[in-house]
Every structure is written in C-alpha cells, then in structure tokens.
Amino acid sequence: MSFYGNEKADIPGIGEYKTISGPVMLYQMLENIWSAETCAPRMREKWTKDNKTMGQCSVTAFLAQDIFGGEVYGIARPDGNYHCYNYVRGKKFDLTSEQFGNEKLIYDLKNKQERSVHFQKKEKEERYNLLKRKLDACIKQ
C-alpha cells in the first residue's frame, strides 16, 4: 500500500466510524470492497483487480470525509475532470493515488469539491451509496 499521505495518515474515525483507526485501516478495508461497480463508468474498461483504485476517487474521498471529517479537494485533470483527495486536520491523503502510477500529482488545496455538485450525477451518488453499504457491512462483521 502506497497511497499519497499514508505515512502521516494517523487520523482516527469519528462518530459511527470511530472503530476505523485511520486512513490506512480504511484503505485496507476498501481493497476488498472497490469493484468495477463502484468505478466511474467512463473508466471501467481500465479497472482491474490489480488497479482497484481506478475511477474510485470522488466516492472514496466523500466516504473518507464521512469517516474522518475535513474537506475534499480536487486536482484538475487534462480531461476537465477533478481527481479528489482529502484534507483533514492539517493532513492531506489520497486513498486512490495509486491509479496514477508514477505520475506526480500536485496536492495544492486550490479546488474545494462539494458533494452536492458531484452527486448531481445520480450514478455517482449511487456508487457512493454502494461503497458506503459495503463498508458498513464489512464493519459489522
């Protein structure tokens, strides 16, 4: 596991997610949950079990926001979309950074992302809800 910010990601979960000790634990849980179903439709052809983080950024970042609080920011991509990551209590982390391989992303806190805007796309809200249900089921086991 080598997601961006993992070495400093010592932020405990809050509320109903206080059993999640931090982003590293969440990542380990999501490794078993991410699927082609939770991947952005435009990226599904690139999704594989070897690249589970492909197309998972916004739904994962908003789920991490539920768990740890903080803000979601986006990195502008050449195709006009944003790659989402988290900023919580002075720490940046990106649970889905591995999908970019060796590409160096700039985590500059310039483009705050709002779930109300992202979830205007019904399919994205449905993918988020699916990921959340799968995580909740995993926690209850």
Share of the chain above pLDDT 90, in %: 94
This prediction's pTM: 0.96
Residue 74's H or E segment, with its range, is strand 71-76
Please state, in angstroms and rounded to a whole number, the distance separating the CA atoms of residues 56 and 48.
12
**For position 5, what pLDDT does the model report?**
95
pLDDT digits (tens, 9 = 90+) for 82-141: 999 999 999 999 999 999 999 999 999 999 999 999 999 999 999 999 999 999 999 987
Contact (Cβ atoms closer than 8 angstroms) between residue 86 and residue 94: yes
Please state, in angstroms and as integers, the Cα–Cα distance from residue 48 to each residue in 6, 32, 125, following that order.
Answer: 22, 13, 22
What local confidence, expressed as pLDDT, does residue 1 receive? 60
